[in-house]
Chain A
Amino acid sequence: MDYAPAQFHRSARKLAEPGEPFAYTPENQAKFDENVTRYPPDQRKSAILYALYLVQQQQGYITGAGMQHVAEQIRCTAADVEDVVSYYTMFYTKPVGKYVLNVCRTLSCALLGAERVTEELSEKLGITPGQTTADGVFSLIEVECLGACDRAPVVMVNDDWHERLSPGDAGQFVDDIRTKGRATFTGCHLHVEKK
């Protein structure tokens, strides 16, 4: 059963702040239209995570209007979309910095100083985990195991990886990002090949 977006349904409820009106750019619309064909025609909802990533790419975070737009694309209720957004940690419902520093805090990284890394970053940036700097450049988030425990401590910055960040280098790391941007990151060590 399809719920047309305008149709009343009992699970429809007030969303997070709607924010600016939102619609996909033509490029993102095309990407979504391709992605949704990967699933059976009556299972459009499978594309919801992909649809939300597109919203997040386009506006940096996911507003109520963004969720509404996804609901129209998927043909479900906006409440269904909010249900999904609120479950997954990689979706942001508030603005985040240009660089989101996701510091792994789980055991293997913690054994090699991840707690200290977070402390150093926190001190350097003047924010606590979960906050964004006033200039909007950095957000600091503690995340759970990133799956690169042999290169601890690991920090994921947006979609890039930085491995073996020692507490002593954390301050310099922030300075480097400010001057060099993405070139600062080590990337995944698995890319390194034999000469």
Chain B
Amino acid sequence: MAYEPVLIKDVREQGSYTLDFYVKQARGYEGLKKSLTLKPNDIIEQVKASGLRGRGGAGFPTGLKWQFVLKDTPKPKYIACNADESEPGTFKDHVLMERNPHLLIEGCAIGCYAIGAKVAYIYIRGEFYHVQEMLERAIEEAYKAGFLGKNILGTGFDCDVYVHRGAGAYEAGEETALIESLEGKRAQPRIKPPFPAVAGLYQCPTAVNNVETLCNVPLIVLNGPEWFAKLGPEKNGGPKLFCISGHVKRPGVYEASMHTTLRDLIFGDQYAQGMKDGRKFKAIIPGGSSVPILLEQHLDTPASFDHIQKAGSLLGSAGLIIMDDSVCMVWLAMNLLHFYRHESCGKCTPCREGGDWLYKLLQRVERGEGQMKDIDLLYGIANNIVGKTLCAFGDAAATPVLTTINLFRDEFEAHVREGRCTLPAPWRARHAMVAAH
């Protein structure tokens, strides 16, 4: 059965980001119109029945998240849309916001109606300035056409959507850190519980949802939960965007069902079309840099939350990073630990200090100055970060070290034995670079 894209079908069409296009060519805002004739709770039930799982990384059922939002409270409620897309290897929300922004706005409005909120903040990462311009333009159009603002479509429902620009912090993608940042503080996570559904933004009940998640909501309301569930394997329904990058011929964002196997996504004609420069496949990180690596023998796994988890990794944000046989796995761990060391918010000691320690050890091993005991030390430090931090960042930072040592211990040992990097690829720096920050 051929899969027909629904989220990014029109993104290459002229003016796909305009309200005119969205309403005339894509049944735009029909989902919102239909929603406003339903009871808020019915929408939550529909989203629950559809089995929609959060597209940001954790894969938590969206309907449940909305149901948990405290109803009996005099406080206002909020939707915080997570558009901080910073997970290395992930660039799907980028496309949605830039080329199909009205779908997100519609999703925000329906979400607000369902949980009883009047305001949605879209927290966009600071680097996406050009995306923000498109999004704000679309919001302005939606206000003018009466899809946002006061008394929407004459139903008495009020809803405001605002864009809030971040300023460069990976950690702001964590839901409670995002809320802190929205409140004008450092993006550092809070202790949970209470969860945002009870005490989130300004200590009010808040639903934090990823861009792609909210974009699915209008489709569910319009086409029904059964349609949505049937698009993918059990409990993994709906359309999914896959971000494919690395050593492939045709990297990009592809929409597919979660029946599609990793092999198809990498080698399929309509997807990434195989390895670049005729090189051999070595490894794949299937869900953004924070998840364990998978190998050749896992490639026939369907790219769904549950199947990838069974194979020993996570679908995460569906950022597939594909590596050929020129990649040194010690270098890979070092590259990612540079990232995690830099982005750690510094709140929890294991992550703040451990990340830095791991990076320094990896540098030493990569330069060929390490000892065999350093490999065990790396493993020990990483294992002591896992589960000991307030948010999932700690686990994410430890993962590249644990997964590379688990799968490629021989490469670490070769570095130590030979006193040099045993796989220096031509695309890497020629001189050891001095860390500038």
Contact = CB atoms under 8 A, between A and B. Distances in A.
Nearest to A45: B184
A193 interface: yes
Interface residues of B, number: 73
A106 B184 contact: no
Contact of B338 (A45, A47, A105, A194): A105
Contacts of A91: 167-168
6 closest Cβ contacts across the A-B interface? A45-B184, A89-B168, A149-B245, A88-B167, A130-B436, A115-B429
A150 B253 contact: yes
The B interface is mostly helix, strand or loop, or mixed, namely: loop
A84 B67 CA distance: 34
A50 interface: yes
Interface of A: 38, 40, 43-50, 52-53, 74, 83-84, 87-91, 105-108, 110-113, 115-116, 118-119, 128-130, 141-152, 156, 159-161, 187-188, 190-194
A111 B430 contact: no
B1 to A, nearest CB: 26
A149 B323 contact: no
Nearest to B170: A144
A149 B169 contact: no
Contacts of A192: 12
A150 B436 contact: no
A50 B13 CA distance: 33
Contact of B321 (A107, A118, A156, A159): A107
Given A113-B427, A190-B94, A190-B98, A108 B88 contact: yes
Contacts of B319: 149
A143 B131 CA distance: 19
B89 A107 contact: yes
A190 B339 contact: no
B289 A106 contact: yes
B237 to A, nearest CB: 26
A46 B91 contact: no
Contacts of B181: 49
A82 to B, nearest CB: 11
B259 to A, nearest CB: 23
Contacts of A161: 130
Interface string B242-260: 0111110001110000000
Nearest to B248: A150
B390 interface: no
5 contacts: A38-B164, A108-B321, A148-B91, A149-B90, A149-B246
B168 A45 contact: no
B168 A107 contact: no
Interface stretch (B120-128, B145-153, B261-269, B406-414): B120-128
Contacts of B327: 111
A111 B323 contact: yes
- With most chain B CB atoms within 10 A of its CB, the pick from A90, A112, A142 is A90
A88 B168 contact: yes
Nearest to B185: A84
Interface string B109-151: 0000000000000000111111100000000000000000000
Contacts of B202: 40, 43
B428 to A, nearest CB: 5
Contacts of B433: 115, 118-119, 129
A162 to B, nearest CB: 12
A111 B342 contact: no
Contact of A147 (B128, B285, B342): B128
Given A110-B335, A113-B427, A188 B183 contact: no
Given A106-B339, A108-B89, A87 B427 contact: no
A101 B266 CA distance: 32
A105 B427 CA distance: 12
Interface string B161-176: 0101111111000000
B192 interface: no
B186 A84 contact: yes
B191 interface: no
Q: Which one of A44, A146, A192 has the highest number of Cβ atoms from chain B below 10 Å of its Cβ?
A: A146
Contact of A87 (B16, B187, B247): B187
B348 interface: no
A122 B85 CA distance: 28
B165 A107 contact: no
Given A46-B164, A111-B246, A193 B14 contact: yes
Contacts of A115: 427-429, 433
Given A129-B436, A149-B319, A150-B253, A156 B165 contact: no
A33 to B, nearest CB: 15
B427 A88 contact: no
Nearest to B98: A190
Contacts of B336: 106-107
B183 A107 contact: no
A118 B338 CA distance: 16
B11 interface: yes
B87 interface: yes
Contact of B335 (A107, A147, A188, A190): A107
B277 to A, nearest CB: 11
B430 A144 contact: no
Given A46-B182, A52-B167, A111-B323, A149 B434 contact: no
Interface string B315-329: 000010101000100
A93 B168 CA distance: 14
B275 interface: no
Given A118-B429, A151-B251, 12 more contacts: A49-B126, A84-B184, A88-B169, A89-B168, A107-B289, A107-B321, A110-B427, A129-B436, A144-B88, A147-B128, A159-B129, A193-B12
A49 B167 contact: yes
